Amino acid sequence: MQTLSETRCFGRTQHVLTHRSEATGTDMTFGLYLPPGAAAAAPVPLLWYLSGLTCTHENAMVKAGAQAHAAEAGIALCFPDTSPRGEGVADDDAYDLGQGAGFYVDATEAPWSPHFRMKSYLAGELPALLARHFPVDPGRQGITGHSMGGHGALTLAMTDPGRFRSVSAFSPICNPTESDWGRKQLTAYLGPDTERWAEADATRLMEATGLDIPLLLDTGTADQFWDLLGTEAFAAACARARAPAQIRLQPGYDHSYFFVSTFIADHIAFHAEALWS
């Protein structure tokens, strides 16, 4: 690993680091905030924040206002990138495919399959790297995310049972197999067989396996992308599965980081309750 920056933040440090990833075959950059009190003899819980389309590790790290609440709760925060990047990495002219739009899946189709392996990166490689080098407790993890990152948080929580104690999401893409924010990308990354898309769709996963950890979901009623998110389908699937879910519609809020920063304290408190219990 190489340290790109270390910045004093609410009594401890906001790190930005880069490393060579075996999963993606590229250099990957991520942010890691460690709260006061984190030490080898006292590792702290870890909350993952997955960002949305066009974002890097930096968007939520700078805009969400999460560090103050994480410091108070004694929780570390990891902000991964949204896709592999760099020379030789496939891309597309559209904002919602290619670099910045990895959708947290392992691509099987050309030209994406050599590098677009974000699920493997986040399910195995990066968590192991953090556990080796930083005072975080791999037995106490939660996951959250926004938009495409909310999709990633939900699907990772449901396809990696036992790893997370809690999951939350801001305006997640909940039903991508039925959305223009999904069908295009899943066809490109996973091929045209829609049965192969099931593990990348939180609504289908909820219907198939349910969820046995606490879930908090916030979406704004003025979200300009409401028709692409599938919130209603996911809520119905949660009800049928009797999942322990809180699904909140926030009056007048849109899809922006103003919305995320308004409710980030609620989400960190929600995770802290599960992670410190």
Write down the catalytic residue from 147, 166, 171, 179: 147
| CA proximity to 218, closest of 180, 185, 256 | 256
Q: How confident is the model at residue 142 (pLDDT cuts 50, 70, 90)?
A: very high
User: Residues near 25 by Cβ (< 8 Å), separated by ≥ 6?
Assistant: 84, 114, 115
Query: Is the alpha carbon torsion for 26, 174, 45, 60 positive or negative?
Result: positive
Which domains can be identified in the chain, with CATH numbers?
A: 2-276 (3.40.50.1820)
Q: What is the pLDDT of residue 110?
A: 98
- Report the alpha-carbon distance of residue 114 to residue 108 in Å, rounded: 8
The values of phi and psi at residue 141, to 5°, are -125, 140
Tens digits of residue pLDDT in 155-189: 999 999 999 999 999 999 999 999 999 999 999 99
Q: Give yes or no: 255 in active site.
A: yes
Q: pLDDT (tens digit, 9 = 90+) per residue, 75-124?
A: 999 999 999 999 999 999 999 999 999 999 999 999 999 999 999 999 99
Tens-place pLDDT, residues 232-253 = 999 999 999 999 999 999 999 9
Exposure string over 164-184, b if 16+ CB within 10 A, otherwise e = bbbbbbbbbbbbbbebebbeb
User: What is the DSSP-derived secondary structure letter of residue 103?
Assistant: T
Confidence at residue 201, expressed as pLDDT on a 0 to 100 scale: 98
Two tokens, residue 30: 């991520």
**Closest by CA position to 149, among listed 197, 101, 85, 204:** 101
Distance CA 140, CA 26 (A): 28
d(CA 203, CA 120): 21
For position 137, what pLDDT does the model report?
98
15, 69, 115, 255: the active-site residue: 255
Q: How far does Cα 97 stand from its chain's mean position?
A: 17
Catalytic residue among 81, 201, 218, 223: 223
**Does 256 qualify as catalytic in the annotation?**
no
Single-letter code of the amino acid located at 227: D
Average pLDDT, the chain: 97
Q: Is 147 a catalytic residue?
A: yes
Rounded CA-CA distance 40/182 in Å is 41
Contacts for 61 with CB less than 8 Å, ≥ 6 apart:
14, 16, 31, 33, 79
CB 21 within 8 A of CB 125: yes
To the nearest 10 degrees (0 to 180), the angle between helices 231-241 and 202-209 is 10
Q: Please give the pLDDT value at position 42.
A: 95
Give residue 213's pLDDT.
Answer: 98
Distance, CA of 216 to CA of 114 (rounded, Å) = 34
